[in-house]
Structure 1
Amino acid sequence: MPYHPVKMVSVQSKMSFLSPLANGESPYVRGNVEEGFPRQNFTNSDHLVQFEDARQSMDAFQLDVQGFMFVEDSGIDDHLVQAIREKNSPVLKEKYYPVIENLVKSNTGATRVVIFDHTYRKRDPSLDPSENSNGKEQPAILVHVDQSETGAIGRVRGHGGADAERLLQKRAQIINVWRPINGPVRDWPLATMDYRTIQQSEIQPTDIFKQRHDRVGQTVSVVHSPDQKWYYLSGQTHKEVTLIKIWDNQDGVAKLCPHGAFLHPEADTAAIPRESIEVRCLVFYDN
């Protein structure tokens, strides 16, 4: 029987946010723990969030306004889905990466796209949503942005080669391209926050240390506010892609988009667990 998503104006569920640090410290995570150098200096807490269904107005969202957008794309077939599930990187780089490069260029006007990473996720019902103990990536339930400004510039310098400094003199972005591969999504949809509804004080750059003070990257954690506005696309299919802005060096536009997954309150417990692929792109312009 075909799946027909229930049309709902909004739904309510929980998401996990950074708990504000009382001592004014910046949050950090450390890979190697030593005495006096703990793994992290913060905790996360769950908050109820209202999620507006973007289905009836999905064409209204823009990367430079809300920080995300939905686009239709049929550039995936059964062969690519199997390659994603098998984590066959050579096939994905040969067959899927060009699809994503063209998709980003056609929707942004960018002149160059450099894909530097991708992640396949599949929900494992036998595990708590926060667990990845079996080495498989679960839907990311913690509200986050993949890169801070510092982290993003580091990515450009790490992957832009000899052109990195020149590229940074013009407009540069990081955009993630998220697609479910076994949609329509019924259980753990992706949610995205309207950039216009977050305050600067709620954006918390989070250092990633390998050891003691050896910083290897910086992401963004997010503090909850009831004023933040969230959206999701009900019944999202493999032909419906979400573009998520991670970073932008241009002023006067949406700079980032906090995002994460949530358990839909109407989820069918017998539904096939959500699978998705997220491709991370450095995006450059001539002006």
Structure 2
Amino acid sequence: MNVTAQLEPIEESVRRAPALIRYLGEGDYVTRRYVSQGAEMNTGDYFDYACEVRDGMTIRDHFTLDTHGFVLGKHRSAIADFHDKPAVDAAYLAEVENLVTRLSGASRTAAQGWMIRTSADLSARAKQKVEGYQHSGGIQPPAGEAHVDYNEITGQRAAARVYADRFADGPGYKRYICFSLWRTFSPGPQDWPLAVCDGRTVSDEETASNTLFVVDEFPTGDALTAPVEGEDQMIAATIFRHRERHRWWYFSNMQADDVLLFKFQDSDHSVTWRCPHTAFHDTSLPDAKIRESIEVRCIAYFE
């Protein structure tokens, strides 16, 4: 793929917000992501780089999944309160499956799980002792660094496993796309909105895999990076090192009916097949408010 995609005139015309985007440093690190209730941490050294994030809200209909790796749609949810966990479990995942199937043109979609993320203070929650913490259906802080939630082997295995589990009688699939469907449900403008990177402007050379460890308590000292047998086969994200060519976008002042769909991994590499993303502190708009958002991981299948 071309990693120096030329900006179109309509993309040059938009407002830009200053941002600090956190990237993995250039060194050689053991890269792991540990998550527990209300908190997440990475090994390796990360650094904040001054970037511009273009505001795509005024040209929202310009973006497409196969060109940019993300698209902004409209959808009114029947969920009145996204903090009502039983209601979200009962109805929202089905909503997302229907919506993603429509937005992507897939044959069908399987939702995997959801997470609320907020810029509110979660320090008290993080101090609570939780046995058997599960990284789904909870509340976590916004994403802290440029990443894609899957590396290739993780996406391939997830697609095969989920299809076999959900659609065992199906004809099989020619293509799959691992997605996130993301919306805010707090009033705008958001203080820590989500930024997405034009997938045409990234390449493999600046990537590393970041293995996921779900833990009750964070390890300390040498235990953070001690060797783990079979780690190269474990669930892992893709993280990125900074490159000037990366082109970041966000959609300011998102409302609850705005939904941002972006790719973790598309098995079709002839189109834009992944979309790095992260939160950033938006200082460009007055009266920014605490962000609350809900994200759903899902896999769309083309049969």
**Aligned partner letter, 1:85:** H
Output the TM-score relative to the length of structure 1.
0.81
Which position in structure 1 is the counterpart of 2:143? Answer: 140
Which position in structure 2 is the counterpart of 1:12? Answer: 18
Once the 2 structures are TM-superposed, how far is the Cα of residue 167 of structure 1 from its aligned partner? 7.6
Q: Whole-Å Cα distance in 2 between the matches of residues 111 and 146 of structure 1?
A: 23
Q: Whole-Å Cα distance in 2 between the matches of residues 133 and 62 of structure 1?
A: 41
Once the 2 structures are TM-superposed, how far is the Cα of residue 132 of structure 1 from its aligned partner? 5.2
Q: Whole-Å Cα distance in 2 between the matches of residues 47 and 55 of structure 1?
A: 24
Pair 1:249–1:168, CA change in 2 (3 A): farther
Deviant stretches of 4+, over 6 Å = none
In structure 1, list runs of 5 or more residues that go unmatched.
1-6, 33-38
Pair 1:30–1:65, CA change in 2 (3 A): closer
Q: Whole-Å Cα distance in 1 between the matches of residues 121 and 249 of structure 2?
A: 24
Pair 1:31–1:234, CA change in 2 (3 A): closer
Q: Equivalences for 1:4-83 in 2 at 5 Å? A: 9-22=15-28, 27-29=30-32, 42-76=44-78, 80-82=79-81
Q: Equivalences for 1:232-271 in 2 at 5 Å? A: 232-266=250-284, 268=286, 271=288
Q: Whole-Å Cα distance in 2 between the matches of residues 57 and 30 of structure 1?
A: 35
Q: Does 1:178 align with 2:182?
A: yes
State the Cα deviation string for residues 110-166 of structure 1 (Å, max 9, x = none): 111111111111212476xxx9556841111211101111111121233222668x8
Contact map agreement 1:246 1:257 (CA 8 A) in 2:
yes
Tell me the percent identity: 25
Contact map agreement 2:33 2:43 (CA 8 A) in 1:
no
Q: Whole-Å Cα distance in 2 between the matches of residues 126 and 207 of structure 1?
A: 24
State the Cα deviation string for residues 79-116 of structure 1 (Å, max 9, x = none): x242x214x1x422321112111111111111111111
Contact map agreement 1:81 1:181 (CA 8 A) in 2:
no
Q: Does 1:276 align with 2:293?
A: yes
Q: Equivalences for 1:100-249 in 2 at 5 Å? A: 100-125=96-121, 136-161=139-164, 170-208=174-212, 212-215=228-231, 216-249=234-267
SS of alignment partner, residue 102 of structure 2: helix
**Aligned partner letter, 2:154:** G
Q: Whole-Å Cα distance in 1 between the matches of residues 289 and 83 of structure 2?
A: 15
Q: Whole-Å Cα distance in 2 between the matches of residues 173 and 251 of structure 1?
A: 11
Once the 2 structures are TM-superposed, how far is the Cα of residue 227 of structure 1 from its aligned partner? 1.2
Output the TM-score relative to the length of structure 2.
0.77
SS of alignment partner, residue 85 of structure 1: coil
**Aligned partner letter, 1:43:** D
**Aligned partner letter, 1:58:** R
Give the root-mean-square deviation of aligned CA atoms.
Answer: 2.9
Once the 2 structures are TM-superposed, how far is the Cα of residue 17 of structure 1 from its aligned partner? 0.6
Contact map agreement 2:115 2:139 (CA 8 A) in 1:
no
Which position in structure 2 is the counterpart of 1:3? Answer: none
**Aligned partner letter, 1:156:** A
Once the 2 structures are TM-superposed, how far is the Cα of residue 40 of structure 1 from its aligned partner? 6.8
Aligned length: 261
